[in-house]
């Protein structure tokens, strides 16, 4: 029997963003190229907090069911879906649709589609609302559904689908691998994935953090160096690094000093999404070594598949806290308090 509705933990008002209410709603149409996934687990992302608290602006949908790090089973496929079968375990990340027509889509960079359909708080091209994975079911275009290597556990792979790919894409697009040195600024959910995947790619990883509090964790994750960003920290690192991934909020970053640790013509890539703008940068700092400040958004399909294969091959294990989906508010509060070590994952507890 065709699936028409889902039930999810919804936020109706950004002023009351910890008040998740179990809500039944109509799913968007299946369409020929879409897949319906029954959610088994769903990761909790910083974006979830930014969105439901209104930090990124007002809601685009009547209410918001967050969650864009879904692992589950295929329960329906559209008539033109070729890659998936009912019963197969798959993942769905922070994008569920693209236009297939813009330059980005046509060049295999669907993550930079000019009209992306996000994982939640988003509308399809026909105006239908899409809700996320703190729920029983999600639907996505086949292009944004990923087979999961058998070796990976669902709870472990979930947060890779947004948190992981967000750092994996800039790592591989900037040539990080054996013999390269990458700096990771901030050791939260994204930072911990940058260390794990940087090390899995064979690079030497240096973690920059405000204090020594997370040093043992960083080294245990595979970092070779840990640098507390106290005054003068950059002195011995001049032009040392091939890439810096900034996962911290920018407000208090020693950006000039960090930029000086990059080799000539290398990049500092922001992957966090602070609600405020970047702090000031001296153009002289940029010109001293011709470095760039950049950002990045998710990754494309081939990068996602490569990441999942690498995770299976190198046995990449995220540091996660697992809890039932009804504890979504607790998980969001932990994001707000910056107390997650290092990613939370919700398991299904809604009766279908």
Binding a copy of itself by CB under 8 A: which of 79, 82, 211, 287? 287
257 touching a copy of itself, by CB under 8 A: no
Binding a copy of itself by CB under 8 A: which of 79, 82, 211, 280? 280
CB 335, CB 67: distance < 8 Å? no
283 touching a copy of itself, by CB under 8 A: yes
Residue in the block written with tokens 């405000």: 210
Site residue total, a copy of itself (CB under 8 A): 40
The whole-angstrom separation of Cα 65 and Cα 146 is: 21
49 touching a copy of itself, by CB under 8 A: no
Closest by alpha carbon to 132, among 272, 34, 14, 25? 25
- Neighbouring C-alpha atoms within 13 Å toward the C-beta of 172: 18
281 touching a copy of itself, by CB under 8 A: yes
| Three-state SS at 273 | coil
DSSP 294: E
User: Measured from the CB atom, is 109 or 322 closer to a copy of itself?
Assistant: 109
User: Measured from the CB atom, is 121 or 296 closer to a copy of itself?
Assistant: 296
Largest CA distance in the chain: 65
DSSP 222: T
338 touching a copy of itself, by CB under 8 A: no
Strand partners, 206: 183, 225
- Neighbouring C-alpha atoms within 13 Å toward the C-beta of 242: 17
User: Measured from the CB atom, is 281 or 312 closer to a copy of itself?
Assistant: 281
User: Measured from the CB atom, is 257 or 263 closer to a copy of itself?
Assistant: 263
If phi over 0 gives left and psi between -120 and 50 gives alpha, with beta otherwise, what is residue 64? beta
| Three-state SS at 288 | helix
Binding a copy of itself by CB under 8 A: which of 4, 115, 279, 302? 279
Binding a copy of itself by CB under 8 A: which of 71, 165, 203, 291? 291
Binding a copy of itself by CB under 8 A: which of 86, 114, 213, 216? 114
Assign 3-class secondary structure to 120-188: CCEECCCCCEECCCCECEEEEEHHHEEECCCCCCHHHHHHHHCHHHHHHHHHHHCCCCCCCEEEEECCC
Contact segment (CB under 8 A) with a copy of itself among 5-13, 60-68, 284-292, 313-321 equals 284-292
User: Measured from the CB atom, is 232 or 277 closer to a copy of itself?
Assistant: 277
The whole-angstrom separation of Cα 301 and Cα 90 is: 13
Q: How far is the CB of 292 from a copy of itself (least distance, A)?
A: 4
Binding a copy of itself by CB under 8 A: which of 213, 251, 290, 352? 290
289 touching a copy of itself, by CB under 8 A: yes
User: Measured from the CB atom, is 257 or 288 closer to a copy of itself?
Assistant: 288
DSSP 327: G
Q: How far is the CB of 250 from a copy of itself (least distance, A)?
A: 7
Q: How far is the CB of 107 from a copy of itself (least distance, A)?
A: 8
Exposure string for 240-266, b = 16+ CB within 10 A, e = fewer: bbbbbbbbbbeeebbbbbbbbbbeeeb
User: Measured from the CB atom, is 138 or 271 closer to a copy of itself?
Assistant: 271
Binding a copy of itself by CB under 8 A: which of 7, 23, 83, 295? 295
User: Measured from the CB atom, is 224 or 297 closer to a copy of itself?
Assistant: 297
* Binding residues for a copy of itself restricted to 91-110, rule: CB under 8 A: 103-104, 107, 109
Chain-centroid distance of CA 281 in Å reads 26
Contact segment (CB under 8 A) with a copy of itself among 9-17, 150-158, 186-194, 269-277 equals 269-277
Binding site for a copy of itself (CB under 8 A): 103-104, 107, 109, 112, 114, 173, 238-239, 250, 263-265, 267, 270-274, 276-284, 286-297
């Amino acid at each position: 029997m065709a699936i028409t509705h889902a039930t999810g933990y919804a936020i109706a008002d950004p002023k009351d963003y910890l008040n998740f209410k179990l809500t039944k709603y109509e799913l968007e149409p299946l369409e020929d190229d879409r897949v319906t996934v029954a959610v088994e687990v769903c990761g909790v992302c910083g974006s979830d907090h930014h969105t439901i608290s209104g930090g990124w602006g007002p809601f685009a949908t009547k209410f918001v069911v967050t969650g864009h790090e879904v692992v589950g089973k295929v329960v329906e496929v559209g008539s033109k879906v070729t890659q998936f079968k009912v019963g197969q375990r798959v993942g769905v990340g922070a994008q569920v649709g693209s236009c297939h027509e813009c330059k980005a889509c046509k060049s295999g960079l669907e993550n930079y589609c000019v009209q992306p359909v996000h994982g939640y708080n988003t509308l399809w091209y026909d105006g239908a609302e899409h809700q996320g994975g703190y729920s029983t079911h999600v639907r996505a275009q086949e292009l944004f559904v990923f087979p999961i290597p058998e070796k990976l556990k669902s709870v472990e792979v979930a947060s890779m689908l947004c948190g992981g790919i967000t750092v994996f894409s800039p790592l591989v697009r900037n040539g990080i691998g054996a013999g390269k040195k990458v700096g990771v600024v901030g050791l939260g959910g994204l930072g911990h994935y940058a260390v794990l995947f940087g090390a899995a790619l064979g690079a030497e990883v240096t973690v920059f953090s405000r204090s020594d509090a997370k040093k043992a964790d960083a080294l245990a994750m595979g970092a070779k160096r840990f640098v507390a960003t106290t005054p003068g920290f950059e002195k011995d690192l001049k032009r040392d690094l091939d890439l810096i991934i900034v996962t911290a909020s920018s407000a208090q970053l020693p950006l000039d000093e960090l930029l000086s640790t990059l080799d000539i013509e290398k990049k500092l890539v922001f992957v966090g999404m602070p609600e405020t703008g970047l702090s000031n940068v001296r153009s002289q700092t940029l010109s001293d070594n011709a470095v760039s400040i950049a950002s990045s958004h998710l990754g494309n399909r081939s990068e996602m598949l490569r990441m999942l294969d690498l995770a299976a091959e190198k046995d990449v294990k995220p540091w996660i806290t697992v809890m039932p989906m009804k504890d979504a508010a607790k998980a969001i509060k932990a994001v707000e308090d910056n107390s997650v070590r290092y990613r939370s994952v919700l398991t299904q507890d809604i009766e279908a």
